[in-house]
């Protein structure tokens, strides 16, 4: 089985939902993946049910309408617009945090779940992961996952050491890389 077929099976339609999301987002200008799916483009993949996305904020209302028309359930939160298809385990989070808007510059196209999609640059993925890891309002388990993602990136890209927080660098000695 391909990774896309496994994801489709495990998420009850998640890769099909992802393909529909990509199609919708492609109609609305620039966007990019951040978070775990983006990390998986740079290092050995680990399973995630989340698709974290940055879109041009001016397009968010139109994207919400199109997602709803396509059968997605959409819910607004303080720093995101979350969407999912009923019955599917794929969780889509469109960030509304303005800090992420500059991630739309310097993206690269990579294949994710069988779809060519724009991915934030490695430096931007690291910045986003540091912001998430540093957010004490997030659940401890989510922050640990972000910490692990940062460690995985550092192991794979030793040159990113200067971008990493001291707490991450101390856990990944240079001799381990």
Low-confidence residues of the chain: pLDDT under 70 = 1-15, 175-177
In a domain, 129, yes or no: no
pLDDT at site 174: 85
- What is the domain range of residue 82? 3-121
Task: Tell me the pLDDT tens digit for each residue of 16-39.
Answer: 899 999 999 999 999 999 999 999
* Sequence-distant (≥ 6) Cβ neighbours of residue 140 within 8 angstroms: none
Give the global pTM.
0.89
Flag whether 165 is in a domain.
Answer: no
pLDDT the model gives residue 39: 98
Closest CA to 19 of 4, 35, 36: 4
For 173, residues 6+ apart whose C-beta sits below 8 A from its C-beta are none
Does some domain include residue 30? yes
What pLDDT score was predicted for residue 16? 85
Say what the pLDDT of residue 15 is: 59
Sheet of 80-84: strand order equals 73-77, 80-84, 91-95, 50-55, 31-34, 115-119, 108-112
Task: Count up the domains in the chain and report the number.
Answer: 1
Q: What is the pLDDT of residue 135?
A: 96
94 falls within a domain: yes
Task: Flag whether 23 is in a domain.
Answer: yes
Q: Residue 27 is part of a domain; what is its CATH number?
A: 3.30.460.40
């Amino acid at each position: 089985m391909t990774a896309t077929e496994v994801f489709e099976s495990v998420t009850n339609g998640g890769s099909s939902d992802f393909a529909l999301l990509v199609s919708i987002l492609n109609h609305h200008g620039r966007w990019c993946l951040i978070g775990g799916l983006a990390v998986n483009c740079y290092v050995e993949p680990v399973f995630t049910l989340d698709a974290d996305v940055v879109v041009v904020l001016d397009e968010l209302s139109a994207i919400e309408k199109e997602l709803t028309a396509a059968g997605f359930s959409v819910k607004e939160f303080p720093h995101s617009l979350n969407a999912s298809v009923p019955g599917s385990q794929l969780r889509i989070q469109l960030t509304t945090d303005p800090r992420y808007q500059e991630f739309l510059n310097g993206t690269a196209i990579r294949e994710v779940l069988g779809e060519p999609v724009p991915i934030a640059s490695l430096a931007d993925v690291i910045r986003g992961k540091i912001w998430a890891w540093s957010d004490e309002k997030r659940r401890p388990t989510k922050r640990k996952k972000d910490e692990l993602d940062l460690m995985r990136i550092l192991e794979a890209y030793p040159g990113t050491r200067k971008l990493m927080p001291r707490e991450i660098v101390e856990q990944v000695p240079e001799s381990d890389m």
